[in-house]
Amino acid sequence: MAKFYITTTLPYVNAPPHIGFALELVRADIIARYHRLLGDEVIFNTGTDEHGLKVYRNALKENKDPKEYVDMLVKRFVSLKSTLNVSYTNFIRTTDPHHKKAAQEFWNRCSASGDIYKQLYSIKYCVGCELEKTESELDEYGRCPIHPNLEIEIIEEENYFFRWSKYQEKLLELYSSRPDFVLPSFRMNELRNFVSSGLRDFSITRRREKMPWGVAVPEDDEHVMYVWFDALVNYISTLGWPEDEKKFKNFWPGIQIAGKDNLRQQAAMWQAMLMSAGLPCSKQILINGFIESGGHKMSKSLGNVVDPTDVVGQYGTDALRYWFAREVPAFDDGDFTQDKFAFAYEGNLVNGLGNYIQRVSTMVKNYFPEGIARPSTEDLLKVALKRGDSEYVALEYFIKRIIAKEYREAMEKFELTKAIDKIFELLKELDVFVQVHEPFKLIKKDKEKAKVILWNLCYGAVGLAWLLIPFLPETSDKIFDIFGITEKNPPAGGPKWDNFKAKEHKALFPRIEK
């Protein structure tokens, strides 16, 4: 059994779950479910980043112990599991005792490589980002463009630094030896340019007297680790590193998925840290775009922040998953508006997929309540699909050998939009099949032929359900159930479904009153 590991970034626990993180989580889930479908053993990691100045200050403001405070905040992230129907296996909190020990061991290894040193430190710091800002990253007012309402803080003190500059050449070598290390390629180019322009060592600690809410630095009580340094280690501490060597070797390196604002941290900072600790770099890093709303970056002041939980409340989990997979470009920015969402929902789910399943199941239920057994190959070929000018293929072959192959190729490249497009291409083909053969008319003239047509349409419905397993797991389950199929996850070589029966069911995607 192949081993597969995928992880999201850990969102900062202080802010409520953002639609961009929901996108990241759902996409990681689609990839994880796809690998389970292939028969892989999958570890799918997510969690929360819980240290740092922002949490500490807010906890003080609310008169709470920081741990008590994050215990309360983390619930909003834990509940995403059911809201978005994600199948993660690991949920790591950077306040977990094991993670803290792993972060300390990681520190010791970087230190043993000579990559950690102490220096006087004076930087401009955005509390909102929990990041140092260089002059060029600030706007014309000297403020962080992401947090224009916060004052930039000047911090001057002695701190520990990580020797990032030492890894410039090694990182560039990594990127040239593995050109698809970061997907999409335009992000890879952006990263290469950034690293080529030179890396500055970065501070990895804060003084405990000012900010005690972090992982203790080994053998120095005056410092705690900077939130980024400890949080990045989660990708391996979740695998039991350092003590569970077997599990670590089996699953690391893995696939990481992140938003575009996280490119440098994931693909340059973290990779240099891994090199320093003598560990293999990640396998691949997938970069998502942002989700805007009505052409604008979402912001409280514009009042256009979309809460994923609200969308699910109105349309259901699979509608949002569908939107993430198909309507947001695989590696680029998406735009959420109520109108666009409603339009895609109506057109593709209510009138498309839902309607097809309803029509087919109703015909089968009415005309053949006893069910339909597999027709002879000869009969199946008589109603084959026309492909190109003179090529005909049986629908079963079309699904297993043509659509599923193209779908797999897209999935292997993490082109989720392309893969789900294949499912809707199949749906279109099935709709044409209904139009060409008109089984509702044929039933009066040639019941035997109508039966063959309907068997094909059932096969098509279940074929859709099969390909939908990673994308819309709940809808997929319902379709299998409607047509009486229990063998959902067929063995290698593709599905072989023989007998179908249809049952009464509620609309898969109810019409939403506006």
Kindly state whether residue 155 participates in binding Zn ion, applying the rule CB under 5 A: no
Of 56-64, 83-91, 136-144, 506-514, the segment contacting Zn ion by CB under 5 A is 136-144
| Separation in Å, CA 401 to CA 142, 390, 405, 415, 494 | 58, 18, 6, 19, 9
CA dist 204 and 225 (Å) reads: 6
Kindly state whether residue 146 participates in binding Zn ion, applying the rule CB under 5 A: yes
CA dist 234 and 237 (Å) reads: 5
Among positions 36, 81, 147, 207, the unique one binding Zn ion when judged by CB under 5 A: 147
Least distance (Å) between residue 130 CB and Zn ion: 8
Q: Which is nearer to Zn ion, 139 or 244 (CB)?
A: 139
Of 40-48, 128-136, 371-379, 417-425, the segment contacting Zn ion by CB under 5 A is 128-136
Of 124-132, 249-257, 358-366, 371-379, the segment contacting Zn ion by CB under 5 A is 124-132
Least distance (Å) between residue 154 CB and Zn ion: 15
Q: Which is nearer to Zn ion, 43 or 263 (CB)?
A: 263
Q: Which is nearer to Zn ion, 130 or 318 (CB)?
A: 130
Among positions 38, 129, 384, 402, the unique one binding Zn ion when judged by CB under 5 A: 129
CB atoms within 10 A of CB 250: 14
Among positions 128, 334, 354, 375, the unique one binding Zn ion when judged by CB under 5 A: 128
38: Cα separation from own chain's centroid: 18
Q: Residue for token digits 């002695």?
A: 158
Kindly state whether residue 126 participates in binding Zn ion, applying the rule CB under 5 A: yes
Kindly state whether residue 144 participates in binding Zn ion, applying the rule CB under 5 A: yes
CA dist 103 and 351 (Å) reads: 51
Q: What is the dihedral of CA 227, 229, 232, 234, to 10 degrees?
A: -80
Of 126-134, 184-192, 313-321, 372-380, the segment contacting Zn ion by CB under 5 A is 126-134
DSSP 93-143: ETTSHHHHHHHHHHHHHHHHTT-EEEEEEEEEEETTTTEEE-GGGS-TTSS
Least distance (Å) between residue 41 CB and Zn ion: 39
Q: Which is nearer to Zn ion, 144 or 472 (CB)?
A: 144
Least distance (Å) between residue 35 CB and Zn ion: 36
Least distance (Å) between residue 263 CB and Zn ion: 16
Kindly state whether residue 52 participates in binding Zn ion, applying the rule CB under 5 A: no
Cα first-last separation, the chain: 48
8 Å CB contact between 274 and 261: no
Q: Which is nearer to Zn ion, 133 or 478 (CB)?
A: 133
Least distance (Å) between residue 434 CB and Zn ion: 54
CA dist 304 and 173 (Å) reads: 42
Kindly state whether residue 501 participates in binding Zn ion, applying the rule CB under 5 A: no
* Tokens at 195, concatenated: 């690293």
Q: Which is nearer to Zn ion, 131 or 183 (CB)?
A: 131
The number of residues making up the chain comes to 514
Instruction: Annotate 170-185 with b (16+ C-beta within 10 A) or e (fewer).
Output: ebeebbeeeeebbbbe
Least distance (Å) between residue 25 CB and Zn ion: 23
Q: Which residues bind Zn ion (CB under 5 A)?
A: 126, 128-129, 144, 146-147
